[in-house]
């Protein structure tokens, strides 16, 4: 069995941890060896003692963790010093989003390690390791959007559900997959009017049935343009797996949105589906461009690490066990998740990018 290491995340204000103590106990029960960096679970509500009680060895710092571990199970892509700690014999298992990060793709290729991205692990046409965080991100996007619509936050001062003798707020959602679906549910529960666009007719039928305040449409450019003129909150949630997100909203369309409206582009980790969006983090989550508040936080679920870590850990655990056993070849789902191996780019959506 490969020795598993869980480092402390170092992305600014990222409180998630990849494996929670109950998952570690499961790994140890299956004869696995688990190292956890001290404090890795702290912001998710799990202290070192809980990991120790689950059978993990706590290591003092990231250097020791990367040295001891063969299989690194992280949440976000490696950045800064973590990149210097990676070796060619490491297996890296985490979110990578390499289509939007060519320099990291090149670095991982040069390192020669095996890098498997959570978001491209595919089972029966589904993305089981993206889905739990998309669920959280969809909900957080609407909660955050509602907050940034407050006048005191630079927004246009609209309450999404409206009030007696007022109109309801207008939420527009691009993409009715997992993130889009949960954004729609959250916005519908708040009482907003919702218009959702997707290429997939089945997805449109499904989300339309959530309630009478939901209109589901094909994403024709002129229809998106028309709806954006009356939109208070735009949520970007489209995905073509492994590829950069298609740009559905141009700068011109953003210019024509109401002053003080808000965009939360969940698809920012794949480059974003709005021309004016750029990556931000929770230290300074928004900026204003063309009079519209933009939120491009690449780790939206990081705001709710207690919920997110448990959901993520449960989803990845079976795959971590397979990887630790060295059984990648027996798992079509894990094989689909391989982005880089032995100095070569393996994922079809990435091959043409370098
Ligand atoms: N920022 C974050 O913190 C965060 C967290 C989780 C997920 N994400 C991202 O959110 C995005 C959505 O993820 P998901 O799990 O919901 O994906 P998904 O595959 O479940 O859904 C994507 C939807 O987009 C639709 N789509 C694709 N191209 C389209 C187009 N041109 N026009 C209209 N619809 C189109 C698809 O038909 C599909 O229904 C991804 O980029 C994912 O990486 C970001």
Instruction: Select which of 82, 198, 265, 269 is catalytic.
Output: 269
Nearest CA to ligand 1 atom 41: 267
Distance 152 CA to ligand 1 centre (A): 30
User: Can you name the CATH fold of 131-302?
Assistant: Rossmann fold (3.40.50)
Note whether 4-127+304-351 and 131-302 share their fold.
yes
Distance 241 CA to ligand 1 centre (A): 8
Q: How confident is the model at residue 306 (pLDDT cuts 50, 70, 90)?
A: very high
Helix (H) or strand (E) holding 139: helix 131-148
Q: What pLDDT is recorded for position 5?
A: 98
53 catalytic per annotation: no
Q: What pLDDT is recorded for position 3?
A: 98
Distance 101 CA to ligand 1 centre (A): 17
Nearest CA to ligand 1 atom 20: 177
Distance 268 CA to ligand 1 centre (A): 10
When the pLDDT of each residue in the chain is averaged and rounded to a whole number, the result is 97
Q: What pLDDT is recorded for position 353?
A: 86
Please give the Cα distance from 88 to 110 (Å, whole number). Answer: 9
**Contact by Cβ (8 Å): 96, 113:** no
Q: Torsion angle, CA of 103/109/110/115, rounded to 10 degrees?
A: 100
**Contact by Cβ (8 Å): 337, 97:** no
Backbone angle region of 196, left / alpha / beta, with phi > 0 → left and psi within -120 to 50 → alpha: beta
Residue 294 has pLDDT above 90, yes or no: yes
97 catalytic per annotation: yes
Residue 214 CB neighbours (<10 A): 22
Instruction: Select which of 97, 198, 232, 347 is catalytic.
Output: 97
Q: What are 51-105's pLDDT values in tens digits?
A: 999 999 999 999 999 999 999 999 999 998 999 999 999 999 999 999 999 999 9
Nearest CA to ligand 1 atom 44: 266
DSSP 8-state symbol, 2:
P
Q: What pLDDT is recorded for position 352?
A: 86
Contacts of 282 (CB under 8 A, 6+ apart): 12, 13, 297, 299, 302, 303
Per DSSP, the three-state class of 158 is: coil
CATH of domain 4-127+304-351: 3.40.50.720
Show me where the domains of the chain are located.
4-127+304-351, 131-302
Q: What are 127-184's pLDDT values in tens digits?
A: 999 999 999 999 999 999 999 999 999 999 999 999 999 999 999 999 999 999 999 9
Q: Is the C-beta atom of 346 inside 6 A of ligand 1?
A: no
Nearest CA to ligand 1 atom 33: 198
Per DSSP, the three-state class of 23 is: helix
Contacts of 189 (CB under 8 A, 6+ apart): none
């Amino acid at each position: 069995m490969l020795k598993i290491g869980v480092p402390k995340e170092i992305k600014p204000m990222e409180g998630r941890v990849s494996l929670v103590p109950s998952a570690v106990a499961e790994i140890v029960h299956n004869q696995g060896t688990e190292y956890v960096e001290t404090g890795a679970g702290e912001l998710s509500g799990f202290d070192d003692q809980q990991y120790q009680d689950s059978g993990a060895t706590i290591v003092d710092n990231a250097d020791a963790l990367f040295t001891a571990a063969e299989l690194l199970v992280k949440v976000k892509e490696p950045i800064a010093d973590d990149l210097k700690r990676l070796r060619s014999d490491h297996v890296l298992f985490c979110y990578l989003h390499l289509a939007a990060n060519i320099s990291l793709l090149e670095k991982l290729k040069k390192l020669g390690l095996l890098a498997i991205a959570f978001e491209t692990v595919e089972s029966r046409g589904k993305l089981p390791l993206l889905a739990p965080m998309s669920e959280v991100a969809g909900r957080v996007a609407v909660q955050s959007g509602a907050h940034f619509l407050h006048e005191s936050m630079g927004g246009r001062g609209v309450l999404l559900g409206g009030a007696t003798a007022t109109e309801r707020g207008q939420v527009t959602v691009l993409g009715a997959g997992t993130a889009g679906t949960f954004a729609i549910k959250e916005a519908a529960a708040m009482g907003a009017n919702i218009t959702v666009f997707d290429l997939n007719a089945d997805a449109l039928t499904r989300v339309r049935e959530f309630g009478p305040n939901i209109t589901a449409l094909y994403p024709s450019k002129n229809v998106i343009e028309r709806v954006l003129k009356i939109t208070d909150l735009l949520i970007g949630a489209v995905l073509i797996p492994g590829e950069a997100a298609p740009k559905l909203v141009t700068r011109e369309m953003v210019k024509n949105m109401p002053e003080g409206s808000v965009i939360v582009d969940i698809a920012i980790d794949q480059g974003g589906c709005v021309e004016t969006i750029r990556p931000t983090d929770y230290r300074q989550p928004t900026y204003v461009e063309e009079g519209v508040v933009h939120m491009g936080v690449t780790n939206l679920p990081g705001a709710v690490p207690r919920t997110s870590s448990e959901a993520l850990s449960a989803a990845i655990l079976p795959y971590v066990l397979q990887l630790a056993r060295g059984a990648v070849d027996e798992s079509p789902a894990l094989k689909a998740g391989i982005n880089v191996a032995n100095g070569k780019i393996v994922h079809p959506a990435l091959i043409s990018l370098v």
